Amino acid sequence: MTISFNTEQILIGGQWRNAENNQTLDLINPSTGELLCKIGRGSENDIDDAVKAAQTALDGEWGRMTATQRGRILTKIGEKILENVDELTRLESLDVGKPTTQARNDAIAMARYMEFYGGAADKVMGHTIPYMDGYTVYTLREPHGVTGHIVPWNYPMQIAGRCIGGALAMGNTCVLKPAEEACLTALMFARIAEEAGLPKGVLNVVTGLGNEAGAALSSHPGVHHISFTGSVGVGKLIEKAAGENIVPVTLELGGKSPQIVFDDADLDAALPFLVGACIQNGGQTCSAGSRLIIQRGVYEKVIKMVSEKISAMKVGPATDDLDVGPLISKKQRDVVEGYINAGLESGLKIAAQGQIMEGCPENGCYVKPTLFRDVPPDHKLAQEEIFGPVQVATPFDSEEEAVKIANGTDYGLVTGVWTRDGGCQMRMAKAIKAGQIFINNYGAGGGVELPFGGMRKSGFGREKGFEALYGFSVLKTVAVRHG
């Protein structure tokens, strides 16, 4: 296994260099549990340098570019991502343990973000506002300035793509802090962006630990906007740190998203989504459709269909490209196994489990996809985000009860509704507390064009789609008195 660049180097102001004092961290291959390579352990001073470089870039050529010029660069980055899709796929599979097909989809999605935001860059417009006689009033959308981006390990390419793409489209400069468990594609993305002509210092990448480089970025007074995707616990810290500097934040946090199946649903059409929306990426998806809330009349039938699909699922090394790869780390595997054991200890029944293939490396982080049935809605397995391939099923009788169960967690990220009844579709779309509602489909992690974000503890602010561009910009009102 070779990596074509020096993974220990971070990017600051167009210079690839070692982290302060040449500090490094180990990056582990979750398929084998073996050392993959070393990465730089960025420090508070490295972050400070990166923020200063981003400010310098903002004051330079980038700050003077037209929106069309920025859009062209983004589009070019998208083209170059597609040219490098094989290598990005390979790196992501090694680093995150994603089966190759999933890793490839993520690389293509990152290219889509660049294309989408490249095309959108010069289409963000202000308004004119009718005001008093003798005045012309209009609004302008301007970049915040230096933006900080702290991203998790589960979809490194998609999440970096969506926040960096949106921020650059609006003319911001960026400091990206990838997750310490998975950062190779962020480093390669930065190399691709350089090749595509992004000026020096516009995108800076500092790898390192959350409580070091991440904390330094979120509390840096030179950062004007923070985009964070990750856990609720760290989200709270980011919000506090940003609050000290009165800086706006976008928080994309966790979820416990339901898929509600009514008696009249087209079950054959639903089945791939009912399972895939949770188990894809080993269940490590913030918007995983991990709670199946099923109407009594089809409950046993759906349990049988889902069980058959889950039992047939194969788990193995990323490069074998099976249904499910390893989880990101032993720590994550232990957390997920802890939930499975807690379910069993409290008397819950497992309806089905997939298979870990023979010959998987002993130190790989493998967990069987698991379906628990008849899970009370207030059980920990139905309330807490497991972030692994564990699905819970709960029956319901009335539409009212379905809404109560669906809305009965701290989260509100995504919901899927499966019914042919148009009236029920509309009522559910209104009654459910979630940032995205899918009717007769489910887009876990998908949809570059679709505004995405949470309610309640799933966070606030919107990324993806055109809507994100409002978050990555600030509105200025200009009132001209001309008589």
173 binds ligand NAD per the rule CB under 6 A: no
CA neighbor of 449 nearest in space, from 433, 436, 459, 431: 436
113 binds ligand NAD per the rule CB under 6 A: no
Q: Which helix (H) or strand (E) covers residue 257, if one does?
A: none
Residue closest to ligand NAD, measured at CB: 210
Is 401 known to be catalytic? no
Residues 384-413 binding ligand NAD (CB under 6 A) are: 385, 387, 413
Instruction: Please report how close the Cβ of residue 457 comes to ligand NAD at its closest, in angstroms.
Output: 10
Q: Tokens representing 401?
A: 């009860």
Residues 255-294 binding ligand NAD (CB under 6 A) are: 255, 286
Burial class (CB in 10 A: 0-12, 13-18, 19+), 276: middle
104 binds ligand NAD per the rule CB under 6 A: no
Rounded to 5°, angle at Cα 62 from 106 and 193: 30
Give the span between the Cα atoms of 311 and 134, in whole angstroms: 73
Residues 118-137 binding ligand NAD (CB under 6 A) are: none
165 binds ligand NAD per the rule CB under 6 A: no
Question: On the CB side of 207, how many CA atoms lie within 13 Å of its CA?
Answer: 32
101 binds ligand NAD per the rule CB under 6 A: no
Could you say which of 215, 367, 382, 406 contacts ligand NAD (CB under 6 A)?
215
Could you say which of 201, 214, 388, 416 contacts ligand NAD (CB under 6 A)?
214
Stretch that binds ligand NAD, among 1-9, 17-25, 174-182, 345-353 (CB under 6 A): 174-182
106 binds ligand NAD per the rule CB under 6 A: no
Give the span between the Cα atoms of 322 and 367, in whole angstroms: 13
Bridge partners of 137, per DSSP, are: 129, 479
Report the sign of the C-alpha dihedral through residues 61, 67, 68, 70, in that order: positive
**Among residues 115, 180, 252, 463, which one is catalytic?**
252
Is 286 known to be catalytic? yes
Bridge partners of 476, per DSSP, are: 140
Residues 222-241 binding ligand NAD (CB under 6 A) are: 229-231, 234, 237-238
Q: Yes or no: say if 225 and 251 are a contact pair by the CB < 8 Å rule.
A: no
> Which residues participate in catalysis according to the annotation?
252, 286
Residue numbers at the binding site for ligand NAD (CB under 6 A): 150-154, 159, 177, 179-180, 210-211, 214-215, 218, 229-231, 234, 237-238, 252-255, 286, 385, 387, 413, 459
